[in-house]
A and B are shown apart, each in its own frame.
Chain A
Amino acid sequence: DAGITQSPRHKVTETGTPVTLRCHQTENHRYMYWYRQDPGHGLRLIHYSYGVKDTDKGEVSDGYSVSRSKTEDFLLTLESATSSQTSVYFCAISENQVQPNEQYFGPGTRLTVT
């Protein structure tokens, strides 16, 4: 996993509680992404960041917010977790958007909302 760590790796939480997932990279890549992966669906983009304090929504952003105060860290927050947010969450990074370029993924966080 190209210099990407995610924490926590596993979390169980109750409906209605706030949850923050952290992604940390050591590659100094400008672009960072949060995806969720669910059975029967492909990876779906939640939010992405194109620089410090620059973020935008993906296709499944409702119920999620993000922040990026440093190049290396990208936080995903579930303000009030719901059972539908039970999923595996992956962070990804990419170097630039000038040309088609691959995204590298972290190890994932398995989140269970009870």
Chain B
Amino acid sequence: EDQVTQSPEALRLQEGESSSLNCSYTVSGLRGLFWYRQDPGKGPEFLFTLYSAGEEKEKERLKATLTKKESFLHITAPKPEDSATYLCAVQANSGGSNYKLTFGKGTLLTVNP
């Protein structure tokens, strides 16, 4: 069974204090790993797709990296507007069920001014 574990559950940073969020996964064969951002009362917003170990993607203050067992979302010099819940999901090569995304429970990031 595919599993995704995100840590920490919650993270509080000061504005400008860089840090990383972790997503550990267990899948039979990784097809893709996805990062989403979710603001309170809204739907998840797509950030990145990573396909293979060693891949990196960046968007503004965010950089996502991927290894064979985990992914990191690095946040450089965060601002209060980066406060949100960040979700990680994996899509596995599972025969006919390769539509399925398995989500972690998320990391709630709070950035204080």
Residues on A facing B (Cβ under 8 Å)? 1, 4, 31, 33, 40-45, 48, 50, 58-59, 90, 94, 97, 100-108
Partner of A42, one of B32, B42, B99, B102: B102
- Asked whether B43 lies within 8 Å of A45 as measured between CB atoms, the reply is no
- Asked whether B49 lies within 8 Å of A43 as measured between CB atoms, the reply is no
- Taking CB atoms, residues of chain A closer than 8 Å to B43 are 1, 4, 90, 105-108
Which of B11-19, B62-70, B71-79, B103-111 sits within the interface? B103-111
- Asked whether A42 lies within 8 Å of B91 as measured between CB atoms, the reply is no
- Asked whether A100 lies within 8 Å of B49 as measured between CB atoms, the reply is yes
- Taking CB atoms, residues of chain B closer than 8 Å to A33 are 99
Partner of A100, one of B32, B41, B46, B87: B32
- Asked whether B100 lies within 8 Å of A45 as measured between CB atoms, the reply is yes
Q: State how many residues of chain B have any CB contact under 8 Å with chain A.
A: 25
Min CB–CB distance B101 → chain A (angstroms): 6
**Residue of A at shortest CB range from B49?**
A102
- Asked whether B31 lies within 8 Å of A100 as measured between CB atoms, the reply is yes
**Residue of A at shortest CB range from B6?**
A42
Take A90-B44, A102-B46, A105-B45 as given contacts and tell me if A43 and B51 are in contact as well, using a CB distance cutoff of 8 Å.
no
- Asked whether B44 lies within 8 Å of A105 as measured between CB atoms, the reply is yes
Could you list 18 A-B pairs, sorted by A, with CB under 8 Å?
Answer: A42-B87, A42-B89, A43-B89, A44-B103, A48-B99, A58-B100, A59-B100, A97-B98, A97-B99, A100-B31, A100-B32, A100-B91, A101-B32, A101-B49, A102-B46, A105-B45, A106-B43, A108-B41
- Asked whether A31 lies within 8 Å of B99 as measured between CB atoms, the reply is yes
- Taking CB atoms, residues of chain A closer than 8 Å to B101 are 43, 45, 103
- Taking CB atoms, residues of chain B closer than 8 Å to A108 are 41-43
**Residue of B at shortest CB range from A56?**
B99
- Asked whether B49 lies within 8 Å of A40 as measured between CB atoms, the reply is no
